[in-house]
Amino acid sequence: MPGVELVAWAGPDIPENGAFFQDNAIQKAVFARDWLLRRGSYANDEMDGVLADDSGLCVEALFGGPGVLSARFAPHLSYPEKNRLLLGMINQGESRTAMFVCVLAFAPLATPLPKPFTVSGVVRGSLAFDVRGGGGFGYDPIFIPDGYDRTFGELDAGTKNRLSHRSNAARALAERLGILP
């Protein structure tokens, strides 16, 4: 059964200016694939394609924000400050429903070049009333996944990773590529 070997990106910065997660993920995967092909420098002949992601936190009370702008939300602030700011933007009595979204784009390396495709993963939950926990990163200390009473920042890494939007997207990709048992 085929496997996957991930190689970290070592090329130029890739623009992210799409309106949707899918736009940014595809933009990054195609940019990286085309850059590698122009240079003739991909890992080896067994490299099947380029994988990129875009992900973020979507909050119902903020009309889906920060969403695709999650990484660029309040760029002058640290994540603990961003988390406090975001929580302060939700008025008392408003929905605290939220979800993390991850879209993976796969740009195959073949001749002729096939179109890239995307898969996605989500984890639904709600926002805490305050920042809780020191684990994880980003918005983890304010997100409580459905069925739990602790934030991703409070849950152990194994539980968080099993539930996460990224792991759900990775499972969807593995299924699409036929590499699941």
pLDDT 10s per residue in the chain (181 long)? 355 667 788 889 998 999 999 999 999 999 998 888 887 765 555 678 899 999 999 999 999 999 999 999 999 999 999 999 999 999 999 999 999 999 999 998 877 888 999 999 999 999 999 999 999 899 999 999 999 999 999 999 999 999 999 999 999 999 998 887 6
Residue 124 lies in a domain: yes
Domain CATH for 42: 3.90.950.10
Q: What angle do CA 20, 15, 34 make, to 5 degrees?
A: 105
Q: What pLDDT is stored for residue 8 in this prediction?
A: 81
- Please identify which of the residues 48, 54, 140, 146 carries the catalytic annotation: 54
The DSSP-derived string for 96-125 is: -EEEEEEEEEEEE--SSPPPPEEEEEEEEE
Q: What pLDDT is stored for residue 104 in this prediction?
A: 98
Q: What pLDDT is stored for residue 4 in this prediction?
A: 64
Q: What pLDDT is stored for residue 15 in this prediction?
A: 86
Residue 36 lies in a domain: yes
Residue 11 lies in a domain: no
The DSSP-derived string for the chain is: ----------S-------SSHHHHHHHHHHHHHHHHHHHT--S-TT--EEEEEEEEEEEGGGTTEEGGGGGGSSTTS-HHHHHHHHHHTSPTTS--EEEEEEEEEEEE--SSPPPPEEEEEEEEEEE-SS---SSSSTTGGGEEETT-SS-TTTS-HHHHHHHSHHHHHHHHHHHHHT---
Beta carbons within 8 Å of 1's beta carbon, 6+ residues apart: 179, 181
Q: Are 101 and 70 in contact (CB under 8 A)?
A: no
Residue 131 lies in a domain: yes
Residue 65 lies in a domain: yes
Residue 10 lies in a domain: no
Q: What pLDDT is stored for residue 46 in this prediction?
A: 64
Q: What pLDDT is stored for residue 22 in this prediction?
A: 98
Is-catalytic flag, 54? yes
Residue 86 lies in a domain: yes
Residue 5 lies in a domain: no
Residue 112: Cβ-neighbour burial (10 angstroms; 0-12, 13-18, 19+): exposed
The residue segments making up the domain with residue 141 are: 21-177
Q: What pLDDT is stored for residue 6 in this prediction?
A: 74
In the chain, the number of structural domains is 1
129-154: b or e for each residue (b if 16 or more CB lie within 10 Å)? Answer: eebbbeebebbbbbbbbeebebbbbb
